[in-house]
């Protein structure tokens, strides 16, 4: 992938599944140098996200986790429980869960009320 000359930003409600076998660490901010919260989303885990963001010049798409009592990462704000990579260059870390029947108890963290 070629780095973009514009930042990409999208808000909404997105369902994802962790596709990277090693899991993915949750970061405080959408930046590769940002500290992690100590939380790790495990391979196969399904969760809600509320935002997608790729900084200018970055090949990395970040997603912001939906607020949840299940993830208690210190230092994150009330708008979300941290950030994870959707993709990093040509490596897929997460996969979107669209058009599939998934029960609400399959999701972690649970979606917050709209």
- pLDDT at position 80: 64
Percent of the chain with pLDDT over 70: 71
Q: Tell me the per-residue pLDDT of 88-101, one tens digit each, with 9 for 90 and over.
A: 878 889 999 974 44
109 cis-preceded (ω within 30 degrees of 0): yes
């Amino acid at each position: 992938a070629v780095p973009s000359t514009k930042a990409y930003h999208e808000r909404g409600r997105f369902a994802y599944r962790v596709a990277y076998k090693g899991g993915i660490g949750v970061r405080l901010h959408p930046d590769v140098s940002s500290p992690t919260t100590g939380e790790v989303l495990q391979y196969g885990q399904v969760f809600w996200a509320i935002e997608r963001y790729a900084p200018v010049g970055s090949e990395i798409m970040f997603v912001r986790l939906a607020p949840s009592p299940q993830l208690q990462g210190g230092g994150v704000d009330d708008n979300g429980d941290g950030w994870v990579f959707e993709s990093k260059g040509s490596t897929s870390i997460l996969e979107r869960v669209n058009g599939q029947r998934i029960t609400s108890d399959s999701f972690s963290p649970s979606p917050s009320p709209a």
